[in-house]
Each structure stands twice: as C-alpha cells, then as structure tokens.
Chain A
Amino acid sequence: MADVAVQHSVAGAYEPSLFGTYSKKIGMWLFLLSDSLTFGALLFAYSYGRISTPNWPTPFGKASIVNATIMTVCLLSSSLTMVLGVLASKKGDHKATVRWLLATMFFGALFVVLHAKEWNGLIHEGLRPFSNPWAKNVPQFGGTFFTLTGMHMLHVTIGVCYLGVVALRKKWLPILLGIWLLGWLLTPATNVFHLGIHVLLLVAVVSAVILVLKPKVYDAHDVEIAGLYWHFVDLVWMFIFPLVYLMSTKVV
C-alpha cells in the first residue's frame, strides 16, 4: 500500500495500520477516550450527589437558560465552522481553512466570555463552591457546578488556543499574550477571572515551547485532529447543558 509507505517513509516496511489511518489521529482518539472517562467521572460525581440529595436547588431562571442556549448555539455553530475548516484544508485551500478556523475560535471565545459573564452573575448572587443562596444544606450544588463547567471551560479555552496555533502558528503567540494582558488588566482584582486568566499565560508558554521546538506547517491532518478535539469538547457540553442547566430550571 503506497499510502502506508508515505506514512512510514519506508516503502512497504510495515503492516497496514489496524484502522487504516495515521498515528496522530489514533493518538487523539485515544486521548479523547481517556478524557471522556475523566468527564464521565465528574458527571458521575454530579449525578451521585444529585440523586442522594432530595432538595437540590433549581435556580436557573429564564435569563440563565436563554444565556446557556446562546452558548449552546455558539458551540454548535463552531462545530459547523470546524467541519467546513476541515473540508477546506482537505481541498488544500489554506486561506479558507484559516478563515473557518478563526470563525471557530470566535464562537469558542464567545462561549467562554458568555460563560464567564454567567459565572460572575452567579457568584454575585452568592453561589460558591461550598454554598449557594437557594438551598442552604446542599453545598454540592456549587461544587459540582463549578467543577463541571470549569473543567469544560478550561477545555474550550485550550481548544481555542490549539486552533490558534494550528491556524496562525507563531503569529498566534502575540495575540494570545495580548488577550491575556487585556483580560488581566480589565478584570477587577476581586473577580475570579483576574486570577483565572493566567491559564492563558500557561497555555502561551506551552504553545511557545511547541512552536519553537517543533516548527512546522500544519497540514490537513493537523486540522482534522484539532477538529476531533473540538467536536469532543462540544459533545461534552451537550451532556452538561441538559444535566446541569435544564434539569435545574426554576419551576414557577
């Protein structure tokens, strides 16, 4: 098989791969498998707490649900633009690829911003990891909410930066550092994201190491693999949205 030869750069020297695909894609699938177990355990922890607690609060009113729905639409749209990006990269259309990836990053970033705004509102109302204003004896509500959505938000943030590296390569670094600096200066010191924004600095350091140690042009395969990650992160939200939000809608 000629294509296997391309993969391994030694003609006919290897058995065809079990799934007929290249190593990095298998690697990403395996990572996602492992990550889905991590999210699965967090969702299990949430469900365990929720089932064993009879008076679980249902605080999400109309505004919250509308906001969460817009966030969901953002992620769904980003999945669409991601697919279009992968298609464009397969056709070899570099410009269109970068455009679609930037669109995906825009929707992803919008999701994070909306999510952060919502966190702020909830924190302002008195929601904490260990208490909430709606049901005094259910501290698990805040704990599970912040763990699940926080872990997911972290994944989306890393995803946006991942796409940034693939789409813009070294040009992404100054942009990322700019976002970090702006975010840090613009959030008041009492805000949780004043500290949280430093995740971006960590991601920037990791990105810089990757870009400097392994400088390369990212090809259609890299876009496809980034797409796998992105769709997975979207999929996780499709569990969190109904389980955490819709099931805790305020019943009037």
Chain B
Amino acid sequence: MTQAHGPADAAPATVHGHAPTGFIRKYVFSLDHKVIGIQYYFLALTAVCIGMILSLAMRIHMVWPDASIPFFGAIKPEQYLTLMTMHGTIMVFFVLTTAPQSGFGNYFLPIQIGAPDMAFPTLNMLSFWTTFLSFAVMISAFFVAGGAPLSGWTNYPTLSAIPMAGPGEGLGEDLWLISIALFCVASMMGALNFITTTLDLRAKGMTLMRMPLTCWSWFITAILGLLAFGVLLAGGILLLMDRNLGTSFFVPGGLVVSGVPVQHSGGSPLLWQHLFWFFGHPEVYIAILPGMGVASQLLSTFSRKPIFGYRAMVYAMMAIGILGFMVWGHHMFMSGMSPYSAFAFSFMTMAIGVPSAIKTFNWLGTMWKGKIRFTVPMLFAIGFVSLFVSGGLSGPFLAQPAIDIPLHDTYFVVAHFHLIMGVAAIFGIFAATYYWFPKMYGRMMNDALGKIHFVMTFVGAYCIFMPMHYLGMAGNPRRYSQFTEVKYLAPLIPIHKFITYAAIITVSAQLLFLFNFFWSMKKGKKAAQNPWEATTLEWTTATPPPHDNFGGVTPVVYHGAYEYSVPGAEKDYIMQTDPTPVPAH
C-alpha cells in the first residue's frame, strides 16, 4: 500500500503527552476525553434535574389546576405549554443525546478501543463548550421578556415562526433556535470525532468485529448524528430567517394573529415537519442506541455468557440506523400526505421491528441459562430490555396510519415515546453509571441504595406510563393543560391523579440516586481494578485511568469482548488483552 499517511502530530498521544497540572487546563478547558466525558455527564445531570422539576410541575398542574407550585406559582395554560416545550427540549437534547453518547461515549470509547485519547482532542473540547453555551442560551430563554417558547420540542411553525403568536414566541423562541443551532454544530463536531477515533485509533488486534457492542453503538450513533444534525441546522437557519428577515419558508398566506394579518405568504409549515423529522427520527435512535450497546455489554458480563449473536447485534444496529432515515413521514400521517407515501413510511417503520426484535431475542438468549449476577447495573440493563419491549410494542400500532390518526394526539403517543425513548434510554444511562462508576471514581456505588433506587424507578416508570395507554385509547388529548373541567374526561381524572402520585414518588426516588452518586464519590467502598470481572480494556488499566489511559503502553488485543465461561479456561472470563488462545467453543 502506498497511501500517504499523516504527520506525527496526527496522533493525540503527541498532541498532549503530558498531563496538564493547572486547574483550568486540567478540569475546565481540558483536552482529556475522560474529563470532557465527565463534563458532559454533569451537564446532563444538571439538565435532567431541571427537566424533571418541569415535568413534576406539569403533572401537579394537570390534576390540581389551581394549586400554587413553589417557583412556578399557579400555572396558566400558556405557561403549561412552556413547561412542556422546555421539558421536551432539555430532556431530548441535553439529557438523552448528551449523557449516553457524549458523556459515556467520550469517556469509554477511546479506552475500550485502546486509544490514548480521541482523534481530535481540541475539537472535543470545543464541542463540549459549544454544547455548554447552547445549554446556557436555552436556559436563558426562561428569563427573557415573554419567557420560554411554547411551540413544543418539535417547534412546529406557524406557531414558532410568528413572534406575536404567543407569549414565549418572541425573544424566547429566537434563543431556542440559536441554542439548537449551536447544539447541532457541537453534535456534528462530536460525531466527526467519534467516527474518526473508531476508524483510526483502535489498538493492535482490536478489529472492528472484536469491538465491544458499546463501541459499535457509539460509532453508529455518531454516524446518525453526523447526518441528522446538519439537516436540523438548515431548518433552524431557515426558521430564524422567517422570524427575523421576513422570509416565508414556513408561513402560508392569509394568516391572521390576534386580528392582525400576517405579512407572509406562500410558505409551507410542512416543509419544517419534513426537515425536522428527517432529523427527529434518527434522533430517537441517537438516544436509544447507546443504551442498547450498554445493555448488550452488561447482560453478557453479568450473565457470564458470550453475547448471543454478536454479528447479528452489529448488523441489527446498522439496520436500525439505516431504516431510521427512511421513516420520518410516520410523524406526519396527520398532515394529509398521500396515502401511498403513508403506506411506504408505514411499511418501513414496521420493518424496524425486525432488527429490534433480533436485538431483544439476542438479549434474552444471552441471559438464557446464564449464571446471572443480579448487580445493580445488571438490574438496570434488564429493566432497559423490559422497557424497550413495553415501549416498542406500541410502535407497530402507531406505525399504521389507520390507527395512528385517532391515537396521534392522545396520551397513547406520550406513553409510547416516554417508555421507549425516555425511560428506556434513562435506564441505559443508569446502568452505565452504576457499571462504570468504579472506573471513573475508584469507588463502588452503594448496593442497597442502588437496589432500592432500581425497584422504585422501575415500578414507578411503569405506574406513570402504562396507564397513559388507557388514557390515550379513551381519547384523552395530549398537550392540554388541564382536564378537570372537561366532562367526558371526568372518569379519567383518578388515573391522572394516580400518575401524578407515581411521578412524585419516582422523582423522589431519584434523590436516592443523587445522594448515592455524590456520597459514593467520597465515601464509597474502594473499587478493585476489575470489580465486575469484565473483559474489556477499561478494566485492564488503573482506576481512575491515567492521563493517556494505559500509562505509556498501548494494549494489544487478542479476543473479542465477550469471552465468558470459556470451557477449559481457568477463570470464567478471559480479558481481551490475555494472549492465551481461546479454544473454539
């Protein structure tokens, strides 16, 4: 081969070979992927707390509309929409996109493939600080005149395109768009870095098909992010122009807002829906794929069995990624699209059930007859599978236009996407946190607290979201701020009350997690180098890992990541770096 190869400075090892010593370079503007990963994680932790408080306020307002809630007061209907918008935005972008991919991916992708750092450490730092800026801009929308926008996380025009359309649609909406544009740029930089790192910095012997499934999931997620965020960026720019330069990409003619005719004409709100959902559907896989990777990793590790169907898992993730770009129209069945295109989108959407089922059965197959260790991370991984199935099964219902049209604007959809994209992905994050905490901080998280946290969250999540299916089928519309005055919904109010109680208890249970997290950081039991007896590279290095991850050496890899209970081996796991040949099994 005669390809040209890069100069010596292409390797991150030489870009910053020595650990920085000053506080600012070490902890604030750090180039170290591990520090950046933790920065992302804490950003997501802050965001999830805000997002949870918003959802609690919504739930309380729904069943006690006149109650005065601390910080929020008595919530007005438009305020309710603001809460809903910001809850969705913060959770989707700054929690579900940020924690599993940018947080854990940043920390563990380089270590798991045996690299000293990401391929572009400076870009990595830049993408974190751009995300941070984006978050700051998003939060600032709460405090400007008119408050935060109320057009939902999907931000549909015409509501979002016309500043006088609602109280938050002035400066708040502009800030929302600027924040999202920044987030797109940051995610694009991050995705580019992840892909290049995976392609270029795998240690000797770490072939693609020996990578842990976590790495595969981060890699495929990065490809989705790279392709999806560019489109949202374009949509965001066009919407900003509609709002500030008077163009009308998204605003049709003849609109009258509060008695004043709107000076736009000829645009199409559907254009936004196309651009948004071309991003938006891959985005839900961006949220869930890393969770799938973590679940695969943990189910194999704690069942002490090789993952069932490694290649099938990889191909299934690829299939989900590819199909994810072909199904955006299923969010638009209500838009009056041609029944023929609705049929095509419906068919493609149903097809996603196939790789998803392959993954589910492989997870079950992995646990089948395994010597399962019910540790806290394992419980959350099993919880992930459970929620993934429960949330996923309502997918094929909604994928059919004939069923989607009556159910679309009801709580059935809320139940569906919260279970599969929200809570399942959060369970992936919890599993990853409990699993990798000992490597990140050198201490174990408290087991008893973790188990209580699991049970309360697992039962709580089902109590919150399962009844919503019934609400939806009974015709309870979503996005309405209160139902107590609506006659035909009166019989459903007790269910709403039950959900709100469950939400209060489940959110309180998260305090246990927060306490456990920060208490264990300082006071937890000291962790061994490989407390879970796992095989991947992060468990071969010191805890916490040194600045260049492996202390000056580059590991050499001899096996795949799932050599558990190999017949004839002296232990029930063989490290990836263990040179002893593995007998065929």
Residues of chain A whose beta carbon lies under 8 Å from any beta carbon of chain B = 1, 3-4, 6-10, 12-15, 17-27, 30-31, 33-42, 44-45, 48-49, 52-53, 90, 128-130, 137-140, 142-144, 146-147, 151, 214, 216, 219-221, 224
Contact = CB atoms under 8 A, between A and B. Distances in A.
Nearest to A12: B204
Number of chain B interface residues as a range: 35 or more
Interface stretch (B227-235, B340-348, B408-416, B429-437): B227-235
A41 B247 contact: no
A34 B199 contact: no
Nearest to B197: A23
A149 B506 CA distance: 52
Most chain A CB within a 10 A radius of its CB, from B201, B234, B237: B234
Most chain A CB within a 10 A radius of its CB, from B13, B191, B245, B253: B245
A41 B6 contact: no
Nearest to B14: A9
A17 B3 CA distance: 11
B188 A13 contact: no
Contacts of A40: 230-231, 234
A24 B195 CA distance: 12
Nearest to A40: B231
A48 B268 contact: yes
A53 B234 CA distance: 21
Contacts of A21: 3-6
Contact of B266 (A14, A27, A140): A140
A220 B253 CA distance: 54
Interface of B: 1, 3-11, 13-14, 114, 119-120, 122-123, 188, 191-193, 195-196, 199-208, 226-231, 233-235, 237-238, 241, 245-249, 253, 263-268, 271, 274-275, 278, 554
Contacts of B188: 31, 34
B200 A17 contact: yes
A18 B5 contact: no
A130 B246 CA distance: 5
A1 B246 CA distance: 58
Given A18-B208, A23-B10, A42 B234 contact: yes
B288 to A, nearest CB: 21
Q: Which 3 pairs of residues, A with B, have the shortest CB-CB distance?
A: A22-B6, A143-B247, A41-B234
A28 to B, nearest CB: 9
27 contacts: A1-B1, A3-B1, A3-B4, A10-B11, A14-B201, A15-B202, A15-B203, A15-B205, A22-B6, A23-B6, A27-B192, A31-B192, A38-B230, A38-B231, A40-B234, A41-B231, A41-B234, A42-B234, A44-B274, A49-B268, A138-B266, A139-B267, A140-B267, A143-B247, A221-B4, A221-B10, A224-B4
Given A8-B11, A26-B200, A20 B3 contact: yes
B234 A49 contact: no
A62 to B, nearest CB: 28
Most chain A CB within a 10 A radius of its CB, from B4, B6, B7, B229: B6
B6 to A, nearest CB: 3
A10 B554 contact: yes
Contacts of B9: 216
Nearest to B244: A129
A119 B238 CA distance: 19
B10 A24 contact: yes
Contacts of B248: 130, 139-140, 143
Contacts of B201: 8, 14, 23
Contacts of B268: 48-49, 52
A7 B266 CA distance: 54
A139 B264 contact: yes
A45 B234 contact: yes
A49 B267 contact: yes
Contact of B230 (A12, A37, A219): A37
Nearest to B230: A37
B230 A34 contact: yes
Given A26-B195, A41-B275, A45-B271, A139 B265 contact: yes
Contacts of A24: 6, 10, 120
A129 B208 CA distance: 49
Nearest to A210: B122
Nearest to B246: A130
Contact of A37 (B195, B205, B227, B237): B227
B235 to A, nearest CB: 6
Nearest to B192: A30
A23 B195 contact: no
Given A7-B11, A20-B3, A45-B275, 11 more contacts: A3-B1, A12-B204, A14-B114, A15-B203, A18-B199, A22-B5, A23-B201, A38-B234, A45-B271, A129-B246, A137-B266
Nearest to B194: A30
A139 B247 contact: yes
Contact of B10 (A10, A22, A36, A130): A22
Contacts of A26: 195-196, 199-200
B374 to A, nearest CB: 36
Nearest to B208: A18
A14 B192 contact: no
A139 to B, nearest CB: 5
B207 A15 contact: yes
A36 B207 CA distance: 30
Nearest to A13: B554
A147 B502 CA distance: 49
Contacts of A6: 5-8
Nearest to B115: A14
A23 B5 CA distance: 9
